[in-house]
Chain A
Amino acid sequence: MEAGGEALAGPPMSGYKDFWQFAAPTRVVAGRDLIGGTGFEFAKEGAKRLLIVTDEVIHGTGLIDRVRSGVEDGGLEVVGVYDDVPPDSDSAVVARTAAAAHEHGADSFLAVGGGSVMDTAKAANVVFTHGGDTRDWEGFFGLPREDDGLGRPHELAPLACIPTTCGTGSEVSFAAVIKDAEAHVKYIVGDFPMYPRLAILDPEATRTLPPHIAAATGMDAMTHAIEGYVSSEWNPHADAYALQALRLIRENLRPAVESPEDETARGNMLVAANLAIQPTSANAIGIAHSMSHPCGAHYDVPHGVANAINLPWVIEFNAAGGEPIANRYRDLNELLGLEVGGRGEQVGHALAEHVRGLVSGLGLPTRLSEVGVPEDGIPILVEGAMGDGCTLVNPREPSEEDFAELYRRAL
């Protein structure tokens, strides 16, 4: 099938596609008692003098002291700790982080925290290496390259991540989402050199994670897996990651939230989040994210909470978009032990109800109105969702009115 058919007639949802691209270049080290070996592992990636990037909450838990000890045991030097990263990091924070790295003479970054911390470190690495303001690098695949911009991209400084939440998967993704505080928008910088060189998955790093954040970030991971699997940019590589992520989430999300002492569940949720993000390396994502991004930008709704609320409505919308799309959802329903027969609407409803029950059971809000989104905010949310990059890769093309209706339902 020619690409032209794809552009005009909608994406194929099965068979052998005309094109896909998949990359997972981050070395992942997972298991127990790995914090003490941070320096040993990061040395293999070329780090010598590193800046730890984190937030005050994580710093206050004592985790950073253990990380620092682990770094120094490996013969590396911690030249500074930047712990002033807020939950929604912005361009100014990134600039200060990059400046701190220069001031301390760092040659590498170690991010210890959740999505905001890791994205800050990724963006700061770009500014640290190439200069300018983060927003100068907004967009995809725009970092400097050899051969007049067409060749191999120039490398960034070594970056390692130790995630302390189980959701964003930013430790193995090539993009950073940063807020422009003045314009009230979130923007993305993404390119291959931004993949962290090392990710250390140790449940010890999530030991102090509050249950409500474990629930929200876990739902973020689930949204990545489901949207990644049904996206127009699905591909067999991404499918493998999404389905295994969903299996792990099926077995471990509730225990990880309800029994924080369950180290096995927390460890498996770290791995699930890590796997679930991989489809996004092939642009496989969808409009639950398109809807959630403006909720965060305009009303400060935590990303995982917004996804948890929006996902079931999007599932029902997409699954009603034709048999090829519904069949992708049938795969997910089978994995989750749900109804797989009937029309697309029924398949979608079964999965949506399962997600709603899970969200409610985890103690998360189920309505946007519960988290500060007003009804008169819908037009500005619709505008944001229409312009979100995730909209282009949704399996069913939404109109402005579709988005307005989805927001009304989610309200």
Chain B
Amino acid sequence: MAYFKDEQEVYEFIGKLFQDLVDDDELAPKFQKANTIVQYQYRNPESQITVKMLEDEDGQVDLGPTDLDPEVIMTMEADTAHRFWLGKVNVTVALARGQMKAKGPVAKILKLVPLVKPVFPRYREQLEAAGRTDLVEAA
């Protein structure tokens, strides 16, 4: 059974994490150096998060439909995304196994992977603060 019961839960937790990141004074400038727009397309439940990280522009996170034109599209199960943000997915392995699929200039995203490691505890804390330790324990 999937970790998230519907797309709203995906947006409530993973979506909120992205929103916090683009508003973070320390991390946002680093992510903006990627200078791209990434769309994460999730399955089970079907959901979509689009993140604008452009140099010299404010970040933007669209949950669901968007007018942004993504340069990179990452496709995966929402479960994989959840496990990734808990620090339990090796991106290289996930790409090799096809658990994550990347379309577009993937290098722009790979560059961010080392930067997101400090975010893993933040995601866990966010779930715990929302009383969703079940999501932490299930992964």
Contacts and interface: CB of A to CB of B under 8 A. Distances in A.
A386 B92 CA distance: 15
B105 A140 contact: no
Contacts of B91: 392
Contacts of A399: 114
Chain B, interface SS category: mixed
A393 B113 CA distance: 12
Interface stretch (A1-9, A46-54, A123-131, A362-370): A1-9
A387 interface: yes
A221 B48 CA distance: 42
Interface residues of A, number: 34
Contact of B89 (A3, A138, A139): A3
B122 interface: no
B5 to A, nearest CB: 23
A149 B73 CA distance: 14
Nearest to A293: B107
A141 B95 contact: yes
B69 to A, nearest CB: 15
Given A139-B106, A397-B114, A282 B96 contact: yes
B108 A387 contact: yes
B88 A2 contact: yes
B98 interface: yes
Contacts of B87: 4, 7-8
A197 B88 CA distance: 36
A232 B75 CA distance: 24
Interface in B108-131: 108, 110-111, 113-114, 117, 120
A11 B93 CA distance: 11
A195 interface: no
A19 B33 CA distance: 32
B92 A393 contact: yes
Nearest to B117: A8
A287 to B, nearest CB: 12
Given A19-B97, A21-B97, A387-B110, A138 B103 contact: yes
Interface in A1-54: 2-4, 6-8, 11, 18-19, 21
A48 B106 CA distance: 36
A282 B87 CA distance: 22
B102 interface: yes
Contacts of B110: 387-389, 391-392
A238 B93 CA distance: 15
Contacts of A150: 98
A21 B96 CA distance: 8
B133 interface: no
Interface centre among A3, A11, A399 (most CB of B within 10 A): A3
A283 B90 contact: no
B101 interface: yes
Contact of B107 (A2, A6, A141, A389): A389
B101 A6 contact: no
B90 A387 contact: no
Contact of B86 (A4, A21, A233): A4
Given A3-B93, A387-B107, A139 B102 contact: yes
A150 B87 CA distance: 24
A397 B91 CA distance: 14
A377 interface: no
Contacts of A188: 106
A220 to B, nearest CB: 20
Contacts of B64: none
A7 B90 contact: yes
28 contacts: A2-B88, A3-B88, A3-B90, A4-B83, A4-B86, A7-B88, A11-B90, A19-B97, A138-B103, A138-B104, A139-B101, A139-B106, A140-B95, A140-B96, A140-B101, A140-B106, A149-B101, A150-B98, A188-B106, A232-B92, A283-B95, A386-B111, A387-B108, A389-B107, A391-B110, A392-B92, A397-B114, A399-B114
Sorted nearest first, the 3 A-B pairs with minimum C-beta distance are: A4-B88, A387-B111, A387-B107
